[in-house]
Amino acid sequence: MTASGSADLVIVANRLPVDRVVEPDGTSSWRRSPGGLVSALEPVMRVHDGAWIGWTGGTSEESDDLAPFVEDGMQLVPVPLSAREVEEFYEGFSNATLWPLYHDVVAKPLFKREWWESYKRVNQRFAERAAEVAAPGAMVWVHDYQLQLVPQLLRELRPDLRIGFFLHIPFPPAELFSQLPWRRAVLEGLLGADIVGFHLPGGAQNFVRLVRQRVGHKTHRDLVTLPDGRQVRAAAYPISIDAADFEDLARSPDVTRRAEAIRAALGNPKRVLLGVDRLDYTKGIYPRLRAYAELVADGTFDVEDTVFVQVATPSRERVDEYRKMRDEIDMLVGRVNGDLGQIGRPAISYLHSSYPREEMAALYRAADIMVVTPYRDGMNLVCKEYVACRYDNDGALVLSEFAGAAHELSQAWLVNPYDINGMKAAIVEAANADPKELTRRMKAMRKTVAEHDVDRWATGFLDELDAVRPSGRRRVRR
Ligand code: G6P
């Protein structure tokens, strides 16, 4: 067993919860990353004397200041990645193999043996770091597809720990997962955890079925029993946002003013449609913009009084499929605006950039219709953020049935992003809905989002992990 550290709760994620900001004079500092996960876990980390292990986003060749540090009261433990590991582990195996494979093979996954070697090596490094910092009997919570081998590797080093794993993306059906040449090793990696969490019950069921088929362990409902008697539970824990915080932000005078200014800058149109995504081929940005463009072309919408604002946050720009799709979107937006726009009135206002939360809240306030149309998405938090910001119970949400969030937000206009005509019909319906109908739907969705916030998600998962005894036999059975 490796010598233990002092942290009672260890979060292991590919990225640290801070981003490096480099000033013009070359000095750099850390800024807390935006996003609900960090704000949800921060208070729990403080209570527990927690540590967070993750990659800084750079390469070990660029910087060597990789000693643990404290930021915002959190103990942060950087894991170095070399330039080659960034290419093979992060861009390669994580984002060109697992990402497309787990998202319904929307793009073709690439299977490269050297990427797998790198994935194993980097997972081992994360596991070693976790083993060093965790106190005896501590809880370790491992996150997402980049680190699926960590639970098992860590258990080998530290059998005293209680290990949880949560997958933030979909877990695919056996028919797709089985393409992976290293499928058994990945399943065994995950089985190192006491609890394996997914957004949806379907993901948990896919996992249990695969474990039975490919690893041969006994399973009963959501429980897997290993040959040594240890039990692993696979269950759904749908993630959410800090809804109250988003609503407060949306109600603030600054955001209210900014929302008005955004509408004014767009020419005070009758209708603002909004899309907000990481620029990713899973998000269905292309078919959504086409659906809208067709509605303008056929005269249903007029650019004089309707505009589509699409925010696309730059992402994974060195991965081929991402470059390709950026070109496709650039071309589509150029063509649509060239064909359908007028002076001062583009049909699509396209922003390839990322914005702070305040600006996002203002955009959500400014938008009459939020259009979220992924081909496949683990959860999708953008639609929940929109709902949280609509405190007047107005605004319409058009949502893909292939987003995890569709299971909770069933009062949205649910669409199939592969069906352009269906999407057009839903957008028109949402645009013409009477206020009562909008209120009815939005009220119901707001209730769901307010009641199931990210704090409930994090404490729910950690309470169950806490109830696991070191032997792997549960104190509390649901
Ligand atoms: C998704 C993944 C996260 C990832 C994020 C941003 O939400 O589930 O694990 O951190 O995308 O992607 P990036 O590759 O920039 O970390």
Which residue out of 79, 90, 169 has the highest number of ligand 1 atoms within 8 Å of its CB and is therefore the one to mutate? 169
Residues 271 and 233 in one domain: no
Helices (H), 160-242: 174-177, 183-190, 201-210
- 313 occurs within a structural domain: yes
For residue 155 and ligand 1, the question of a CB distance below 6 A is answered with: no
- 253 occurs within a structural domain: yes
Residue nearest to atom 16 of ligand 1 (CA): 15
- 474 occurs within a structural domain: no
Angle of CA points 197, 200, 206, to nearest 5°: 80
For residue 315 and ligand 1, the question of a CB distance below 6 A is answered with: yes
- 290 occurs within a structural domain: yes
- 1 occurs within a structural domain: no
- 475 occurs within a structural domain: no
Residues 200 and 231 in one domain: yes
Tell me, what amino acid is at 288?
A: R
Phi, psi of 246 (to 5 degrees): -65, -40
Residues 323 and 213 in one domain: no
Residue with more model confidence, 27 or 125: 125
pLDDT band at 43; cut points 50, 70, 90: confident
Which range marks the domain in which residue 249 is found?
A: 243-451
- 2 occurs within a structural domain: no
Residues 333 and 365 in one domain: yes
Tell me, what amino acid is at 234?
A: A
pTM of the predicted structure, to 2 decimals: 0.96
Residues 396 and 333 in one domain: yes
pLDDT, tens only, 193-204: 999 999 999 999
Which residue out of 19, 147, 315, 321 has the highest number of ligand 1 atoms within 8 Å of its CB and is therefore the one to mutate? 315
Residues 231 and 267 in one domain: no
Tell me, what amino acid is at 426?
A: A
Residue with more model confidence, 476 or 382: 382
pLDDT band at 476; cut points 50, 70, 90: very low
- pLDDT greater than 70 at residue 469: yes
Residues 14 and 144 in one domain: yes
Residues 324 and 425 in one domain: yes
For residue 15 and ligand 1, the question of a CB distance below 6 A is answered with: yes
CATH of the domain at 155: 3.40.50.2000
Residues 230 and 340 in one domain: no
Per-residue pLDDT at 266: 97
Helices (H), 49-195: 83-85, 99-102, 113-133, 150-157, 174-177, 183-190
Residues 400 and 352 in one domain: yes
Residues 181 and 94 in one domain: yes
Core vs surface per residue 193-223: b (16+ CB within 10 A) or e: bbbbbbbbebbbbbbbebbeebeebebeebe
- 321 occurs within a structural domain: yes
Cβ-based burial of 8 (10 A; exposed 0-12, middle 13-18, buried ≥19): middle
Residues 97 and 31 in one domain: yes
Q: Which atom of ligand 1 is nearest to the CA of 144?
A: 9
Q: What tokens were used for 217?
A: 């362990």
Angle of CA points 96, 102, 108, to nearest 5°: 45
Domain count, the chain: 2
Q: If residue 245 lies in a helix (H) or strand (E), which one and from where to where?
A: helix 243-251
Mean pLDDT score across all residues of the chain: 95
